[in-house]
């Protein structure tokens, strides 16, 4: 347990701020006309007090971590009172405060990710999550460039500088319009499902690619009637009679007011979901809380 009397000086905060803005201890030292070791020592002392890395020093990088972004924001808001900054640092280091930027593939952004972040923000009023929706490759790019702290995607990037945590798989279910001639089936195979036009996620979606592999393995030819970026949109399209679809059961459960027929899918289709963070962020308590909440979701 960290001490509540965290010892961080105004001078250390000043040096951290310059290193944060310039993303370089050398340039920060030049700007303040002091030695580079003085900057490095001040940053290291704050990291020791907080028990968290403030910068990702992998390779030649010097990128701010989630904790650094949160501390910088706190300093900007509260610099007139050092004690308030120290309080914010305490909250960040214990995972009950700060800002965490999350990027997610569309398939689960408006269900699992939204629910998990919403629960945590209700439980911890000083903890904030900003959630953006983008493709898997765009999410990984944002993570590499330091524009996101956590990416919720399907594939394992397999990069040493990133930590990947496996979450619960999505549970696929077939949905049909209520007037579909097969709406009374108790179970449906991929071949039978594909005998009518399908509405699907975009071609760059890992979930659509998994569906296409399943259909190919079953020897089923299929017609894509339309594509939509989110599964919620697919569900509404099916409810209006646009075609059939395969969606995540949890997304279907969370989409109120739609009238579709749900039929279990006879298939081994798996949609793995992973949380990916920069290795320097892997011990950030706020991120750990998010990943734990996502693992509990079922």
Mean pLDDT of the chain: 89
Residues 109 and 190 in one domain: no
Residues 101 and 159 in one domain: yes
Q: Quick check: 105 and 230 in contact, CB under 8 A?
A: no
Residues 155 and 84 in one domain: no
Residue 62 is assigned to a structural domain of this protein: no
pLDDT confidence of residue 189: 95
Mean pLDDT calculated for residue range 27-50: 94
Q: Could you read off the pLDDT of 133-173 as tens digits, one per residue?
A: 998 999 999 999 999 999 999 889 999 989 999 998 888 99
Residue 204 is assigned to a structural domain of this protein: yes
Query: pLDDT band at residue 59, thresholds of 50, 70 and 90?
Result: confident
pLDDT confidence of residue 1: 37
Mean pLDDT calculated for residue range 71-93: 74
Residues 45 and 178 in one domain: no
Residue 297 is assigned to a structural domain of this protein: yes
Q: Parallel, antiparallel, or unpaired: how do β-strands 150-153 and 97-104 relate?
A: parallel
Mean pLDDT calculated for residue range 11-27: 93
Q: Which domain holds residue 48?
A: 1-54+69-94
Residues 197 and 158 in one domain: no
pLDDT confidence of residue 205: 86
Query: pLDDT band at residue 206, thresholds of 50, 70 and 90?
Result: confident
The structural domain count of the chain equals 3
Residues 84 and 140 in one domain: no
> What does the alpha-carbon distance between residue 171 and residue 177 come to, in Å, rounded to a whole number?
20
Residue 201 is assigned to a structural domain of this protein: yes
Mean pLDDT calculated for residue range 104-127: 91
Residues 38 and 81 in one domain: yes
Residue 141 is assigned to a structural domain of this protein: yes
Query: pLDDT band at residue 80, thresholds of 50, 70 and 90?
Result: low
Query: For 120-125, which contacts have Cβ atoms below 8 Å and span 24 or more sequence positions?
Result: 120/289, 120/290, 120/293, 124/95, 124/96, 124/97, 124/289
pLDDT confidence of residue 81: 62
**Alpha helix segments (H runs only) across the chain:** 10-22, 25-32, 36-50, 66-78, 82-94, 106-108, 114-123, 136-144, 190-193, 206-217, 231-239, 249-254, 285-296
Residue 79 is assigned to a structural domain of this protein: yes
Residue 4 DSSP one-character state: S
Q: Quick check: 98 and 80 in contact, CB under 8 A?
A: no
CATH of the domain at 30: 1.10.10
Q: Could you read off the pLDDT of 162-185 as tens digits, one per residue?
A: 999 999 888 899 999 999 999 999
Query: pLDDT band at residue 82, thresholds of 50, 70 and 90?
Result: low
Query: pLDDT band at residue 298, thresholds of 50, 70 and 90?
Result: low
CATH of the domain at 238: 3.40.190.10
Residue 59 is assigned to a structural domain of this protein: no
Q: What is the percent of the chain where pLDDT is above 90? A: 63
Residues 226 and 104 in one domain: no
Check pLDDT > 60 for residue 259: yes
Residue 103 is assigned to a structural domain of this protein: yes
Residues 82 and 102 in one domain: no
């Amino acid at each position: 347990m960290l001490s509540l009397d965290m010892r961080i000086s105004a001078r250390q905060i000043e040096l951290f701020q310059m290193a944060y803005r310039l993303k370089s201890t050398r340039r920060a030292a030049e700007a303040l006309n002091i030695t580079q070791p003085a900057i490095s020592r001040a940053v290291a002392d704050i990291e020791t007090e907080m028990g968290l890395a403030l910068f990702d020093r992998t390779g030649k990088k010097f990128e701010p971590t989630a904790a650094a972004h949160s501390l910088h924001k706190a300093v900007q808001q509260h610099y007139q009172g050092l004690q308030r900054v120290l309080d914010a640092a305490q909250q960040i280091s214990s995972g009950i405060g700060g800002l965490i930027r999350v990027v997610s593939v569309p398939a689960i952004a408006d269900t699992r990710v939204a629910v998990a972040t919403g629960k945590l923000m209700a439980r911890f009023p000083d903890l904030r999550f900003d959630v953006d929706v983008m493709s898997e490759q765009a999410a990984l790019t944002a993570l590499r460039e330091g524009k996101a702290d956590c990416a919720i995607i399907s594939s394992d990037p397999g990069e040493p500088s990133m930590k990947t945590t496996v979450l619960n798989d999505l549970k696929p279910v077939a949905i049909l319009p209520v007037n579909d001639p097969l709406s009374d089936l108790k179970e449906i195979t991929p071949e039978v499902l594909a005998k009518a036009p399908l509405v699907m996620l975009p071609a760059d979606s890992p979930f659509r690619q998994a569906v296409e592999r399943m259909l190919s393995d079953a020897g089923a030819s299929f017609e894509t009637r339309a594509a939509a970026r989110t599964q919620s949109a697919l569900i509404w399209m099916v409810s209006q009679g646009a075609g059939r679809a395969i969606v995540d059961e949890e997304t279907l459960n969370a989409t109120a007011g739609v009238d579709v027929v749900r039929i279990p899918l006879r298939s081994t289709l798996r949609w793995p979901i992973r949380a990916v963070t920069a290795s320097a962020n892997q011990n950030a308590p706020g991120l750990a809380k998010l990943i734990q909440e996502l693992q509990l979701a079922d």
